Structure 1
Amino acid sequence: MRLGGRLAAAVEVLDDVAKRHRPVADALKDWGLSHRFAGSGDRSAIGNLVYDALRRRRSFGWRMGNDSPRALVFAALAEGYGMAADAVAAALEGDRFAPKLPSAADFERFRTVDLAKAPDAVRADVPDWLADEFAISLGPEWIAEAAAFAERPPLDLRVNALLGNREEAAAKLAEFGAAATRLSPLGLRIPPIAGAGRHPNVQAEAVFQMGTVEVQDEGSQLVSLLVGAKAGETILDFCAGAGGKTLALAAATAGERRIHAFDADRRRLAPIYERLRRARAESVEVHSRTGELEALEGACDRVLVDAPCTGSGTWRRRPDAKWRLSRSALEKRTAEQDAVLDSAARFVRPGGGRLAYVTCSVLASENGARVEAFLARHPDFAVEDAGAVWREELSDVPPDFLNVPGGGGSGLLLTARRSGTDGFFFARLVRR
């Protein structure tokens, strides 16, 4: 496909997302199935334009003076590919599939307008109603913090310590630019894609197929390590989902058979079996019914609650989600978080058992506020100090997070701007 066809396809996908209020991944998949002539390079280029347009929908629309799908796609082209108006016009000359060009005035506005004069929510690339939430959650520099979640993300991998080490895995992935992550002692990072490029299909590589590496954001790796799982302990991953953090816990405990993975949604849990097999994590027992957990009540040394949340910390990878999020959806999530914490608490061993609360959200209403509410209902728990937990579990790693005081201790917040990771909240509580 020529550039004009790719631009037209991106406009079509964005229009589909807007009209049908559907996930962008589904819209891109359907477009590919109905346009089988498009090669993998074409699909990647189209996807990049679509995702870039969604990541910066507010700021691109404000700079163009128009937030239509067509305007957003041309803004993504100009920004992501560094193409000036005359270069775009020259590249599309005679291309009958190309969408109509924005006017010269629109391109000039996009190039010269001062974004610093835009409303705060526009500069942050978030919906208006979330501006106050972000200001409360991320402090005085919230606009820059939020805007960092509109950048293209890297591809992070976790080395499975049961099967290999980071140096060997990095050597096998050297052609892709894989290098050690800055904070996680187990991580490898492949840089964000540029222009029309695409990340390598690492899942086709032998190092992945053999279970030596797993795709996992560096922030997710860090919070898994902060749980503090040790060999010989009984551990419950109470919202295991597809098992990313379960696998990390299994590696941290050297494969001892005392890890339990549970999720009430069997569909979310389904991928865990193949992942456990590939990683040779034989220490994990998987549960899909609450009745199977009765023997664990009051007996677990550590319980991980990776709670359902808005996913605001993952907006670099799922930018369409921020435009679908509503106040009612946020309220529903906070109620679910309270319920899952209450359910998980009964499995924590009295007299020193730990409860780790994790979300992939940066919103205070889902994070510190939920911990405070939990403590009010469960006075037998106390929050540990996040800095002390970091030093205990990551002694050789300089602390790099936003501190979230509360409950007599503190949680921590990892962000794209501060930590270079997806957004994650972590708090560890001890049961007295």
Structure 2
Amino acid sequence: MTPAARISAAIEVLADIETRRRPATDALKDWGLSHRFAGSKDRAAIASLVYDALRRKSSAAWIMGDATPRATVLGMLRLQRGLTVDAVAALCSGERFAPEPLSAAERERLEKADLGGAPAPIAGDFPDWIEPSLQRLFDGDLVPEMQALATRAPLDLRVNPLKVSSRDEAHDALPHLGAVETPLSPLGLRIAPSEDGRGPAVQSEPEFIKGWIEIQDEGSQLAALISGVKPGEQVVDLCAGGGGKTLALAAMMDNQGQIYATDNDARRLAPIHDRLARAGARNVQVRTPRAKADAVSDLDGRIDCVLVDAPCTGIGTWRRNPDAKWRLRPGSLDVRRKEQAAVLDRAAALARPGGRIVYITCSILPEENDDALTAFLERNDGFKPLPQADVLAQAGLGHLSALTHATAFGLQMTPHRTGTDGFFVAVLQRAS
């Protein structure tokens, strides 16, 4: 397919997403099935165009004065990809499979491409109903923070100390990936996003198969390190899901002590078994709930550290899931807040006297972070938040203090400040 034909295809997919109100992955899959002539490179390039258009949906519509799929793609090519007006016009020749030529109005709009005077939700490309919440956290930095959340995310890898002696050893074994060391995590490697959005097939690399590396955002790596788990401790990963943080904790504990990995959705635990075997993590006991029965009730009052990677809106991952931002509704936030309250209360029962709860979300909304902890502390006597400066110092991550947003109870990582996904982390300790 020509570049122009890919533009037409992206417009078609965006129209399908808008008409049928469904996730981009589903629309892209159906387009690929009905256009089997398109090769893997074509499909990847079209997906990249679609996701970039969703990243800049509001700002593209603003500069074009129109919110149609065509206008969104044209505006994105100017704002996100930096194409000149002539370059955009060349792609829109009206020839076979190419979009129709630019109108005089479209050309004029593209030449100006001005976001001056645009409201924050437009300039930052986010739903306007969450602006008051975001202002609480970011204040004057709101627009640059949200613009950073509209960029492409890199591919981060975590080096597994259970299988490889150092980050350098893993790095030197993967020169063809062009990875560099992550600036904040001592275990991370980073692969920059490619021009066409295609990432390397890391899962097929021998080093991945041998368990040397795992795919994990640097922010998630840091959240695990902040937990401060130590060899010999008793740990519960209460929302373990596929096991990304469980694996990181097992490496931190050098397979000594015990981690109990569970999740209230048994289906989410399915990948964890193969991942544990590949990583060489031997101190993890997977507790799969059955018939909604509590899988860790026998551990109440015995646990040194309860990791709560809480269910949340996932706003901090919008770089990777740009269509999710436009499907977010106030009702979703209400549901997540109830789930967060329930899982925090469950964690409280597990923590031993002197034990701690590490609360993590991939959200930047105060309602899911500090507000959730405020409500928890009102419901549960005997817990106190630990000063983040002390927590970071003990984890050997004191350098994060100057980069993150300090909140009432924790710290907030963001793409703008830390180059990571938007992770919130706070540590609470139960009185002895």
Task: Compute the TM-score of the two structures, normalised by the length of structure 2.
Answer: 0.95
Residue deviations 1:258-304, cap 9 Å, x none? 01100010111111111111111121100112443122110000000
- Please show how residues 66-215 of structure 1 align to structure 2 within 5 Å: 66-93=66-93, 95-164=95-164, 165-194=166-195, 196-215=196-215
Give the match for residue 389 of structure 2: 387
Superposition deviation, residue 180 in structure 1: 0.6
Q: Report the AA paired with residue 310 of structure 2.
A: A
Give the match for residue 6 of structure 1: 6
Structure 2 CA distance for partners of 1:174 and 1:345, relative to 1, 3 Å:
same
Separation in 2, partners of 1:370, 1:257: 30
Residue deviations 1:295-314, cap 9 Å, x none? 21100000000000000000
Superposition deviation, residue 396 in structure 1: 6.3
Residue deviations 1:236-267, cap 9 Å, x none? 00000011000100110001250110001011
- Please show how residues 419-430 of structure 1 align to structure 2 within 5 Å: 419-430=418-429
Q: Report the AA paired with residue 348 of structure 2.
A: A
Residue deviations 1:89-121, cap 9 Å, x none? 334546321222342332332332431311121
Q: Report the AA paired with residue 200 of structure 2.
A: P
Contact 1:134 1:146 (8 Å CA) reproduced = no
Residue deviations 1:61-106, cap 9 Å, x none? 1011111111111222334443323233334546321222342332
Give the match for residue 296 of structure 1: 299
Contact 1:155 1:215 (8 Å CA) reproduced = yes
Separation in 1, partners of 2:101, 2:217: 38
SS across alignment from 2:410: strand
Separation in 1, partners of 2:97, 2:330: 40
Contact 2:92 2:100 (8 Å CA) reproduced = no
Separation in 1, partners of 2:247, 2:124: 35
Contact 1:313 1:362 (8 Å CA) reproduced = yes
Structure 2 CA distance for partners of 1:143 and 1:93, relative to 1, 3 Å:
closer
Q: Report the AA paired with residue 394 of structure 1.
A: G
Superposition deviation, residue 389 in structure 1: 0.5
Give the match for residue 328 of structure 2: 325
SS across alignment from 1:301: strand
Separation in 1, partners of 2:197, 2:341: 42
Separation in 1, partners of 2:294, 2:369: 28
Superposition deviation, residue 12 in structure 1: 1.6
Residue deviations 1:181-204, cap 9 Å, x none? 01001000011222x242111111
Separation in 2, partners of 1:13, 1:91: 17
Structure 2 CA distance for partners of 1:188 and 1:57, relative to 1, 3 Å:
same
Contact 2:389 2:398 (8 Å CA) reproduced = no
Contact 2:93 2:100 (8 Å CA) reproduced = no
Contact 1:158 1:188 (8 Å CA) reproduced = yes
Q: Report the AA paired with residue 183 of structure 2.
A: R
- Please show how residues 262-301 of structure 1 align to structure 2 within 5 Å: 262-289=262-289, 290-301=293-304
The match for 1:362 among 358, 364, 376 is 364
> Which sections of structure 1, spanning at least 5 residues, go unmatched?
none
Root-mean-square deviation (CA), in Å? 1.5
% identical equivalent positions: 50
Superposition deviation, residue 131 in structure 1: 1.2
Q: Report the AA paired with residue 253 of structure 1.
A: M
Superposition deviation, residue 33 in structure 1: 2.2
Residue deviations 1:133-156, cap 9 Å, x none? 111122321121111100111110
Structure 2 CA distance for partners of 1:199 and 1:100, relative to 1, 3 Å:
same
> Which sections of structure 2, spanning at least 5 residues, go unmatched?
none
Structure 2 CA distance for partners of 1:73 and 1:301, relative to 1, 3 Å:
same
Residue deviations 1:4-53, cap 9 Å, x none? 22112111211121122211122212222222211111111101110111
Contact 2:92 2:102 (8 Å CA) reproduced = no
Task: Compute the TM-score of the two structures, normalised by the length of structure 1.
Answer: 0.95
Q: Report the AA paired with residue 162 of structure 2.
A: L
Give the match for residue 216 of structure 1: 216
Report how many residues are paired: 426
Give the match for residue 61 of structure 2: 61
Contact 1:263 1:269 (8 Å CA) reproduced = yes
